[in-house]
Amino acid sequence: MSEDKKDQLITINVDGKDYEVPPGMNLIQAVEKYAQKEIPHYCYHEKLSVAGNCRMCLVEMGTPMRDRATGEPILDDNGVQKIGWMPKPAIACNSNTSPGLHIKTDSPLVKDCRNGIMEFLLVNHPLDCPICDQAGECRLQEFATEYGRGYSRFIEDKNVKPKRTRLGPRVTLDDERCILCSRCIRFSQEIAKDDVLGFVDRGSYSTLSCYPGKELANNYSLNTVDICPVGALTDTDFRFKMRVWFLKQAKSICTESSVGVNTVVWAREGKIYRITPRQNDGVNDTWMSDSGRRLYNLVESEMRLLAAKFKKDVVTTEKAIEKAVDILKGAKFGIVGNTQSSVEEMAGIQSLAKSHGAPVMFVGHIQEGDDLLISKDATPNTRGALLTGLTKALPYRQRDVVGRNLKKGEMKTLVVFNEDLIEAGVDKSLLEQVDIIYVGSQQNATSEMAKVVIPSQVVFEKAGSFVNQNFRLQKFEACIPAPQGVKSDAAIITSLRAGLGDEDASSSLAKIWESLSSDVKEFEDLSYSRIPDEGVQLDGSRFDQLNYIETGSLHYEAQPELAETA
């Protein structure tokens, strides 16, 4: 919704009360937003086309009466324009607000409609809630409680349909639970642009199916699971693993690319069970990629670094930091930053670099974009590195900065944040000439070479913020506790700085933001707690001359004049 303009508002009447609403707004949304009333629905989804097939949103509708011949309003005895009520109930999802529109959402007829639809939806629905993954977040359960009759008049045999159809590598279908709302079909056609789903057979025997020879394998297939209002489409990975009401939710940001997809991370007792998209109409709407949902594997990956090391020997993290400080004190050092780091971590690195004259270098990470929710920049915070002043150039536009710096031979030590320099193509012999202090969550060829290894937290274990491709500042929460002894990058940086004698070192988000808001023009007046869930749009015009690699996605347009050379 764009900003409501007061003078353009119109009046509609919901259950006898007038409300000021924008014209032409979808009725279900308008009633929910302005009248605070829910019109129950299954097939309607605000980001998909209207199908109008579930009939759950039937309401009574009327419009002000006008004389057909003259166009003059027809008034009642009190001089009020009469309302011409439609003879049949109409679906709200297929209607938009118009001046004087009257609707009834709680009349006996409307209640009877909902009651009837609920009964119909349940007659052939297996009542297997106790073993259904959707239980607890099932629209059928919710509306059955609110609008159902509470008992069944159906004594016939229920229809039998396939119970576990593999639609694709990640999605399993229970056809008996399907209420044929067609959301998944519309999603595949309209958003994923991968038209593989359809109904076969007819009537109550209609069955969701993939076209022959096709499968639901696109990288957005799991969104069909999210939007399925019942437990028909299930995530093969999550299926039967956990009851949803045991899971704690935390708001996070997907680190898959610079799009910065908003997510919810669902965890229990320190274990993440699933990641789902969080609606943000300026970023990802209600979608996210399948690959992004699997990033929680980082937490328990085989390559996870859990112990600090000094010269290959396991030591405590404190000891490792002590050793690192000793090395750094001795000689000139350089820092290899990472655009996976949060704004706050970057601020810490920037302070460290500034007070000790250390150059900060980056390695670029690019990938295939999909023009939807995965951009070509494979890291979430390139813009953050620009804003914090950690770099002036785009990492992926530079060639072997680390190697070139090492060749100068001035640096004796390299502090590397979660970056594999060997994989990035830096000459191994050059790296062997310096001491490496590796701070990161994942083991790699570089960490193997490091003199000091300090394990750090993954994104799900810490809080912070990223700036996405649109210069939208978005924050993420800690979702699960970190393994024992594993500290956040911010804490590690703070310890290093304190060890090196920096007096202002602090890992408190509030403290870091105090200096960020005074040092960085774009962050003026901001603090961590003031970043809303949907993020803050920053002014990125200071960096307009840069040749960004992103080609465009759901809510991002590539810079027209530079896109050609990208």
Partner 1 sequence: MAVAEKRILLKYADEPGYTPDIECYKKHGGYQMLEKTLKMKPEDISAEIMTSGVRGRGGAGFPMGMKMKFLDRKSGKPIYLVCNADESEPGTFKDRQIMYKDPHQLIEGMMITAYAINAKLAFIYIRGEMQEGARILENAIKEAREGGYLGDKILDSDYSCDMVVHRGAGAYICGEETGLLESLEGKRPNPRIKPPFFPAVLGLYQCPTLVNNVETLCNVKHIVEMGGEEYAKIGRPNNTGTRIWSVSGHVNKPGYFEFECGALTYGELIYDVCGGIPNGRKLKAVIPGGSSAKVLRADERFKGKLKDGTEFDWSIEDIPLDFDGPMAAGSMSGSGAVIVMDDTTDMVEAMANINAFYAHESCGQCTPCREGALWLKKVTTRMVNGGAREEDADLLKSIADQIEGRTICAFGEAAAWPVQSFVAKFKDEFIEKARAQANGAGKNGKMGAFTLA
Name the residues that contact partner 1, by CB under 8 A: 50-56, 58, 87-89, 91, 94, 112-113, 115-117, 119-121, 123-124, 153-154, 156-157, 159, 179-180, 198-199, 201-206
**Structure tokens that stand for 311 in this block:** 């010269």
**Structure tokens that stand for 558 in this block:** 């590539």
- How near is the Cβ of 129 to partner 1 at its closest, in Å? 19
- How near is the Cβ of 493 to partner 1 at its closest, in Å? 58
Tell me how far apart the alpha carbons of residues 125 and 34 are, in angstroms, rounded to a whole number: 34
Of the two residues 42 and 460, which places its CB atom closer to partner 1 in the complex? Answer: 42
Of the two residues 199 and 543, which places its CB atom closer to partner 1 in the complex? Answer: 199
Place of tokens 């998944």: 184
Of the two residues 195 and 524, which places its CB atom closer to partner 1 in the complex? Answer: 195
- How near is the Cβ of 134 to partner 1 at its closest, in Å? 18
Question: Could you please report the per-residue DSSP string of 505-564?
Answer: ----HHHHHHHHHHH-GGGTT--GGGS-TT-EE---GGGTTS-----EETTEE--HHHHT
| Helix, strand and coil in the chain, % to nearest 5 | 30, 20, 50
**Structure tokens that stand for 405 in this block:** 């710096």
Of the two residues 16 and 203, which places its CB atom closer to partner 1 in the complex? Answer: 203
Query: Residue 266's beta-bridge partner residues?
Result: 249, 274
- How near is the Cβ of 113 to partner 1 at its closest, in Å? 6
- How near is the Cβ of 108 to partner 1 at its closest, in Å? 13
- How near is the Cβ of 178 to partner 1 at its closest, in Å? 11
Of the two residues 181 and 424, which places its CB atom closer to partner 1 in the complex? Answer: 181
Of the two residues 50 and 83, which places its CB atom closer to partner 1 in the complex? Answer: 50
- How near is the Cβ of 197 to partner 1 at its closest, in Å? 12
Cα–Cα nearest to 452, from 438, 440, 441, 442: 438
Of the two residues 86 and 510, which places its CB atom closer to partner 1 in the complex? Answer: 86
Laid out side by side, the sheet with 435-440 consists of 313-315, 308-310, 452-455, 435-440, 413-417, 333-336, 360-361
- How near is the Cβ of 286 to partner 1 at its closest, in Å? 23
Which DSSP category does 158 fall into?
P
Of the two residues 101 and 272, which places its CB atom closer to partner 1 in the complex? Answer: 101
Of the two residues 58 and 538, which places its CB atom closer to partner 1 in the complex? Answer: 58
Distances (CA, A) of 327 to 330, 339, 453, 496: 5, 25, 13, 11
- How near is the Cβ of 55 to partner 1 at its closest, in Å? 5
Question: Could you please report the per-residue DSSP string of 107-141?
Answer: SHHHHHHHHHHHHHHHHTS---GGG-TTTTS-HHH
318 CB-near residues (< 8 Å, 6+ apart): none
Q: Regarding beta strands 58-64 and 83-85, do their DSSP bridges make them parallel or antiparallel, or are they unpaired?
A: antiparallel
Which DSSP category does 263 fall into?
E
- How near is the Cβ of 132 to partner 1 at its closest, in Å? 19
Of the two residues 232 and 373, which places its CB atom closer to partner 1 in the complex? Answer: 232
Tell me how far apart the alpha carbons of residues 92 and 32 are, in angstroms, rounded to a whole number: 11
560 CB-near residues (< 8 Å, 6+ apart): none
Of the two residues 125 and 309, which places its CB atom closer to partner 1 in the complex? Answer: 125
- How near is the Cβ of 116 to partner 1 at its closest, in Å? 3
Q: Regarding beta strands 413-417 and 262-268, do their DSSP bridges make them parallel or antiparallel, or are they unpaired?
A: unpaired
Distances (CA, A) of 379 to 254, 258, 366, 367, 385: 10, 5, 8, 9, 11
Of the two residues 43 and 305, which places its CB atom closer to partner 1 in the complex? Answer: 43
Tell me how far apart the alpha carbons of residues 398 and 227 are, in angstroms, rounded to a whole number: 41
Tell me how far apart the alpha carbons of residues 519 and 516 are, in angstroms, rounded to a whole number: 5
Tell me how far apart the alpha carbons of residues 286 and 276 are, in angstroms, rounded to a whole number: 9
- How near is the Cβ of 199 to partner 1 at its closest, in Å? 7
Tell me how far apart the alpha carbons of residues 565 and 416 are, in angstroms, rounded to a whole number: 31
